[in-house]
Amino acid sequence: NAGVTQTPKFQVLKTGQSMTLQCAQDMNHEYMSWYRQDPGMGLRLIHYSVGAGITDQGEVPNGYNVSRSTTEDFPLRLLSAAPSQTSVYFCASSPPGTGNTIYFGEGSWLTVV
């Protein structure tokens, strides 16, 4: 049981490049989400999904796309990377219901130069 797996762990991008951060969970959780964390700040919600085929925007969705074609995977796409997207990205998953624990991945460190 691997939990929530994020790849890559570290990535350097040039401004304007695109890339996809991968997130996979093996717990059959319906709820998945992506957060970003800037230095000295709390986590901010980018996008979330309550099940396959269903996604919605969080607090800071601009510049990011998501899709949820399977229960297990929830990739985050950066369309045209900007230095302001330099951050640590965390993927999370949870069973449905607000009384359930949310499990986080170990994070992906992204630098845009």
Partner 1 sequence: DAKTTQPNSMESNEEEPVHLPCNHSTISGTDYIHWYRQLPSQGPEYVIHGLTSNVNNRMASLAIAEDRKSSTLILHRATLRDAAVYYCILRGYNQGGKLIFGQGTELSVKP
The contact set with partner 1 (CB under 8 A) reads 31, 33, 35, 41-45, 48, 50, 56, 58-59, 90, 92, 94, 96-99, 101-107
Closest CB to partner 1 among 85 and 94?
94
Q: How far is the CB of 68 from partner 1 (least distance, A)?
A: 13
- Quote the tokens at residue 36: 């970003």
Min CB(53)–partner 1 separation in Å: 15
| 58 vs 63, beta carbon nearer partner 1 | 58
Amino acid letter, residue 36: R
List, in sequence order, every residue forming a beta bridge with 92; answer none if it has no partner: 33, 104
Find tokens 């170990």 and name the residue.
106
Distance separating the N- and C-terminal Cα atoms of the chain? 36
H-helix or E-strand spanning residue 78: strand 76-78
In the complex, least distance from residue 25 CB atom to partner 1, rounded to whole angstroms: 13
Residue 19 β-bridge partners: 78
| Residue (17 or 95) nearer to partner 1, CB | 95
